[in-house]
Structure 1
């Protein structure tokens, strides 16, 4: 399996993903990796219906994502992994999924989170996951859209006190 792009965006498939990131990825399939979304039949259906034309969309939990990645049946697939948070990314990387870079696009502000940028807020557990990903050699690429300059998210976390 060739991972063309990996992105964290808790809105999942929306305008920017459909019109910009999916084209940038040039992948044949978007795989949404989320136990929460996989277990929510309504949200799962909505995500699949929002798919860009000509691109297959699957919503899977963490365990299935790891199995699919390691299955030789899918070795010729080109994929765009989409996540809602860094904990899921870290779980895949720690289980041998070769994610070299993660684009951080959007994590909405909620109680208990610290705002890092206009579009990204994290809690302590998420910040720790990002730090661990960086230690494992995963590039933390903070950009809302492709045309934005790449910003190292590790620096932004440090500036916010993480």
Structure 2
């Protein structure tokens, strides 16, 4: 939680009220004890790693980050990068099955799984920001942070 507070303090885009609301929702998620399904995932699923063949069949490429991860991880990355985050979250929620990230007893909701993945990514912000700054890629990094925060705003219900 302290890292997320640090992100809020370091970013001019996050009001204290917004930060505290996000932190309260994060604390709720971390305290409930429900599970998150884990399995083999691409690990870097983005639009640039999908090639659509002549027949219209998509193929995933660049599997060097594949690992056993939260199944919602690849889905969260697509939602973060989408120009219409709401539509992607609705689609994921509508199509999630019980064998993957779908809701069932003892498991978090799809929205909560997506939020946890985004929170995990944001918890690494200090190291990633330093790396981005050193490589001259601070502006894209900050855009990514803003997109992740926007997705959290959509996933967490307003009080």
Compare the two structures and name the one with the higher strand fraction: 1
| TM, length-normalised to structure 1 | 0.31
Largest Rg, 1 or 2: 2
| TM, length-normalised to structure 2 | 0.31
